[in-house]
Structure 1
Amino acid sequence: MPGDRVKKTRPRPRVLVVGFAGHQGTEYLPIVRESADVVGGVDPAPAASPLADAWGFPHYDTLGQALENVDFDAAVVTVPHSEHFPVCTQLLAHGRHVIKEKPFAVTEREARHLIHLAQRADRSVFTLLQRNFDPVFRFARENLARIGTPYWFSYDYHFNLAHPSTGWRASRERARGGVLLDMGYHLIDVLSGLFPEPEPPRVHSAFVHQYQEMRDRRLEDLVSLMCSYPSTGLAGSLRVSRHNYEKVEHLCVLGTEGALNVAPGVAVLHSVGGLPLERRTWDGPKTDVVRSMIAHYLGHLDDRYYRQGHLQSQLTTVRTIDGIYRDRSRERNKLADRCA
């Protein structure tokens, strides 16, 4: 009717899924399709072709083939750690946005190069980190100031796997690191969000191996970190492992006016004496968090302000982890020199 305002709807983004036949890729695929049109998939695994046929999109063994044949806006990338950098650089060189599994990059050098390419191409590189979209972690970020000045934190995250790592995570060449890079990336990203600092914290680390084959491959089964932030006086501990007696995640932050405790599904603010002041619970399915995360990133592909903040936060996380690994490498080299 005359005078009615016509509501314009944004076209659904066209997405290429890279590494879609793996565990993470098959988890994300149906959720990506809710907010985007999946126009192709790349995966050399034998299971990839029938899976693509079942979902109704063309399948390619290599990214180069897909870039030659498919027109798309963004790629959702779920590949082993060793493949992240070459896949992302190729996508950015062809002017495509990237939404990828962690880590953003393995080394600080790779991270800075990706940021340079993203800025030059005017494209986003977003990292899939679910805790940033989890309601209890959001509650923690929004209410952290209520505990006064934080002075201590402890963060534990453990799996209870009964056997050594398998698949690409058991390969030094493909995993590029052990639990610190794999599981610990999530935790250090959370801490970087809660305690933003211009420089990474000072870290003392202990790497532990339950299985001899993992020691031989230099893939830690457990890492323990002691962190300090000189500019604020904050300190804390972080422990991550794959072979604990139970699966657990627990973050505790102590402040001058109270405490904050976060565990899966619940966050609690406490007074100085320990009295619970406010509790936030959430018992929704994991898929709801994933759905919110992917929809958010797809909706912000062209948001340069949001993009810049995300890139800088990921650089901080990568710098912290890369610095820990480089310190361990220097210690190992010194020990080898003494023993020579």
Structure 2
Amino acid sequence: MPSDRGRNTRPGLRVLVVGFAGHQGKEYLPIVRESADIVGGVDPAPAASSLADEWGFPHYDVLSEAFEQVDFDAAVVTVPHSEHFPICVELLAHGRHVIKEKPFAVTEQEARQLIQLAGRADRSVFTLLQRNFHPVFRFARENLARIGEPYWFSYDYHFNLAHPTTGWRASREQAMGGVLLDMGYHLIDVLSGMFPAPEPPRVHSAFGHQYQEMRDRRLEDLVSLMCSYPSTRLAGSLRISRHNHEKIEHLCVLGAEGALNVAPGIATLHSIGGLPLERCTWEGPKIDVLRSMFAHHLGHLDDRQYRQDHFRCQLTAVRTIDGIYRDRLREQDRLAGRCA
């Protein structure tokens, strides 16, 4: 059984882990245990029972069993996209807080329902988005005003997978979207936090496919977006893919008085002429960012103002992505009607 040495458990905070036997769930287990008591786990996977035994908590195949057998205050949810909404609805109906993997929701309708249910239950639904707690991205948010009014951004995020997408992300029924929903959610969340606006941006999109099987399943391997914000003069582009020649993430923001460049390990402020003004670098381990993220969310479960701010930002991200997919579907229907 993994050691609890150095654990800093908050007295009384009991957490249920849902979907803990998957890759992301297993990564989070030691971090959650540092800040709370894991009192049970829900996962129907064959390996879940032995993993729960290894970690020393009860295992349940379905959520209803956990409600009957164990008391808990919050649940950490790491499941395929298709399972997010029904699990969150059930948890909120039983008065539990939720800390979940992205996306907050797949559709705007689901997002609004979750916010309404959370309000009735006076409970939080927090989304696990690491960049909000990364020192480099925090530096970028805190120093954005130094470049003056932003007018352009470009954001590239690429993996370099040498094979078709596998696992539940290769299933339309489970993934419910391709790279836009999976990888793009992180980027749109970053932009929503840096450029808060009353309405989502206007977006023109182009979808691409590296592999025929992904085209057949309507799961994009690549997406390119052109965005404009009606309430400001800000515009920009995003490019996201799974099968690039190299793994890369880079955000550039141009402002009236300078520029800001951000990558996972470094952020740099530049003058108008390109002279570097200040730089933030961070080479710490990923687990430190995860610790900060979980400790923050677990420590703000009952903070209603933080909860509402989180809901506003997540609703913007969901509305943006849902709008892109719906526009894409309307265009496909229009073209199909023209060819009929």
TM over 0.5: yes
Structure 1 CA distance for aligned equivalents of residues 210 and 140 of structure 2? 33
For 1:154, what is the secondary structure of its paired residue?
Answer: strand
2:232 aligns to what? 232
1:305 aligns to what? 305
1:72 aligns to what? 72
Structure 2 CA distance for aligned equivalents of residues 93 and 284 of structure 1? 39
Q: Contact (CA 8 Å) 2:97, 2:125: kept in 1 or not?
A: yes
Q: Contact (CA 8 Å) 2:10, 2:35: kept in 1 or not?
A: no
Instruction: Write the deviation string for residues 129-157 of structure 1: whole angstroms up to 9, x where unpaired.
Output: 00000000000000000000100000000
Whether 1:186 and 2:186 are equivalent positions in the alignment is: yes
Structure 1 CA distance for aligned equivalents of residues 92 and 230 of structure 2? 37
Structure 1 CA distance for aligned equivalents of residues 188 and 281 of structure 2? 23
Structure 2 CA distance for aligned equivalents of residues 150 and 297 of structure 1? 30
Structure 1 CA distance for aligned equivalents of residues 163 and 91 of structure 2? 36
**Structure 1 segments unaligned to the other structure (5+ residues):** 1-8
RMSD over aligned Cα, in angstroms? 0.8
Q: Give the aligned residue type for 2:24.
A: Q
Q: Contact (CA 8 Å) 2:158, 2:249: kept in 1 or not?
A: yes
Instruction: Write the deviation string for residues 249-284 of structure 1: whole angstroms up to 9, x where unpaired.
Output: 000000010000000110000000000000000000
1:151 aligns to what? 151
1:133 aligns to what? 133
Task: Please list, as runs of the form range in 1=range in 2, the aligned pairs for 1:242-321 lying within 5 A after superposition.
Answer: 242-321=242-321
Structure 2 CA distance for aligned equivalents of residues 169 and 300 of structure 1? 31
Structure 2 CA distance for aligned equivalents of residues 232 and 220 of structure 1? 30
2:4 aligns to what? none
Q: Give the aligned residue type for 1:31.
A: I
The number of aligned residues is: 332
Q: Contact (CA 8 Å) 2:10, 2:36: kept in 1 or not?
A: no
What is the TM-score normalised by the length of structure 2? 0.97
Structure 2 CA distance for aligned equivalents of residues 42 and 298 of structure 1? 19
Structure 1 CA distance for aligned equivalents of residues 295 and 321 of structure 2? 28
Structure 1 CA distance for aligned equivalents of residues 157 and 93 of structure 2? 37
**Structure 2 segments unaligned to the other structure (5+ residues):** 1-8
Structure 1 CA distance for aligned equivalents of residues 175 and 248 of structure 2? 23
Whether 1:59 and 2:59 are equivalent positions in the alignment is: yes
Structure 1 CA distance for aligned equivalents of residues 11 and 21 of structure 2? 27
Q: Contact (CA 8 Å) 1:12, 1:35: kept in 2 or not?
A: no
Instruction: Write the deviation string for residues 303-339 of structure 1: whole angstroms up to 9, x where unpaired.
Output: 0110010011100000000000000000000011111
Q: Give the aligned residue type for 1:276.
A: P
Q: Give the aligned residue type for 1:123.
A: R
Whether 1:198 and 2:198 are equivalent positions in the alignment is: yes
What is the TM-score normalised by the length of structure 1? 0.97
For 1:284, what is the secondary structure of its paired residue?
Answer: coil
Q: How far off its partner does 1:10 sit?
A: 5.8
2:19 aligns to what? 19
